[in-house]
Structure 1
């Protein structure tokens, strides 16, 4: 990410991080900033409490594009313009609400395609939109198109191969009919900061964090002149990752995008501690109910 203000309007989904997509720089577009169940929560609407939930009630009271409380699964689109002027579109996570995010924000920002996908983990709110990738790929009755690169850990790959075998299968079995499915080029990455990878020209450094005490999830550090850390599902920071995002680690962070789901994930107190100790210029919260 070069020559840009990392975020000017983080209150709303769909906000572009260079103050709007003027076509002359990179941008961050927040496709989703909500929790796994998204907001509004269906239960709050079909079985309302007394008094009703103010957040979920308000989330349906005004149009989504002007509504900070209508929020899909966490997902970030990186509109990356390299130094040679080539533009690539990289998306982090494609969850349960991916189709709605495409209809709402791809059309609004005139996003023509996705060049690469980067996954944080293999839970439903990060991967259940994988089938819909075919909707943003060129149509071919024989699936003869260039596959979209997708970067993920071995654990996520094994889990997805079980959930979506037809997306992973390379060759048709004898007698199997050709069906249109998303064409993906699966690329395994390591769960270590010192094992970076490059997706569509942009270098990513994995940031392993705990998502519950028995599950490892990845965040990512990316950007050159403008350093961004994206950590969408975290309950605790391992000491190594905490050091990396500190000023003494990778250097001054311009933007930290951090999960702050009350009680379930990182609490507000922990969030504030990280923000203060890491000496970050700007912070944006995700996952709030």
Structure 2
């Protein structure tokens, strides 16, 4: 399995518009972060987790030629605003499957009526197939995916486990029951927004505490804001098995 980090930033990305923060002015490409998303590839299958406002450029930058579907973690704009740019894949595939829980599918149908309204569909709109998922395993391609229910502040959202890799973004808390699904991980990908506490995201201290509890072999931190600091400096402070992810990073898992 191959994971490509399409974006590793927060809802504003880095650099933030009009910001003079030193990290936003950094020349290190690892400090330039698009909105958070990953590409998951195995055998001959290609899926994306989340489809934010940078989706078009992310697909071009990673030279993605096809996808079989999109898994959505939740309905915030930085995770869904790029849905219209699915059109080129629709020309290849027909209807692109969108996997999400009911609340999220309902929200997408409201916000993107011209895509989801079959009775008055806008000509040329992307063709999508809404696939309802619950907090139970489901199949994409030939792979079992295990949803991980986490709390993003007061909002229940999904992370996903693919074999021995788990992708969790926008997490603030997670129950003991859901943590059981995260045992024996080879790779954990999880958010760490900044140093100061945040009302709906793990800060880096909280993320490291959770990592220490779960004991994955390796962890990559994502959904990073400029307030966390320079990539080159922050990574020096991390435990030996914890790394800052960055845009275009590719990891391979057996």
Q: TM-score, normalised by structure 2?
A: 0.83
Cα distance in 2 for residues equivalent to 1:202 and 1:233: 24
Corresponding position of 2:58: 101
1:68-147 equivalent positions in 2, closer than 5 A: 68-81=30-43, 87-105=44-62, 107=63, 111-138=64-91, 146-147=94-95
Q: CA deviation at 1:135?
A: 2.9
Do residues 165 (structure 1) and 113 (structure 2) align?
Answer: yes
Cα distance in 2 for residues equivalent to 1:78 and 1:98: 15
User: Unaligned regions of 5+ residues in structure 2, if any?
Assistant: 226-254
> Higher strand proportion, which one?
2
Cα distance in 1 for residues equivalent to 2:203 and 2:145: 26
The answer to whether the 8 Å contact 1:80/1:90 transfers is: no
Aligned counterpart for 1:279 among listed residues 212, 215, 224: 215
> Higher helix proportion, which one?
2
Corresponding position of 1:54: 22
| Higher Cα radius of gyration | 1
SS in 2 for 1:138: helix
Cα distance in 2 for residues equivalent to 1:73 and 1:160: 18
Provide the aligned C-alpha RMSD in A: 1.6
Aligned length: 221
Cα distance in 2 for residues equivalent to 1:188 and 1:150: 8
Cα distance in 1 for residues equivalent to 2:71 and 2:125: 19
Corresponding position of 1:185: 129
Aligned counterpart for 1:258 among listed residues 180, 185, 190: 190
Corresponding position of 1:197: 138
User: Unaligned regions of 5+ residues in structure 1, if any?
Assistant: 1-25, 82-86, 140-144, 247-251
CA displacement 1:47-101 (0-9 Å, x = unmatched):
x3xxxx221001xx36xxxx101111111101111xxxxx011100001111121
The answer to whether the 8 Å contact 1:90/1:200 transfers is: no
The answer to whether the 8 Å contact 2:89/2:96 transfers is: no
Cα distance in 1 for residues equivalent to 2:129 and 2:89: 15
Do residues 209 (structure 1) and 150 (structure 2) align?
Answer: yes
Aligned counterpart for 2:159 among listed residues 210, 219, 222: 219
Aligned counterpart for 2:204 among listed residues 251, 263, 268: 268
Q: CA deviation at 1:136?
A: 3.1
Corresponding position of 1:233: 170
Q: TM-score, normalised by structure 1?
A: 0.73
Cα distance in 2 for residues equivalent to 1:73 and 1:135: 20
The answer to whether the 8 Å contact 2:114/2:120 transfers is: no
Which structure has more RCO (C-alpha within 8 Å, separation ≥ 6)?
2
Aligned counterpart for 1:288 among listed residues 224, 227, 231: 224
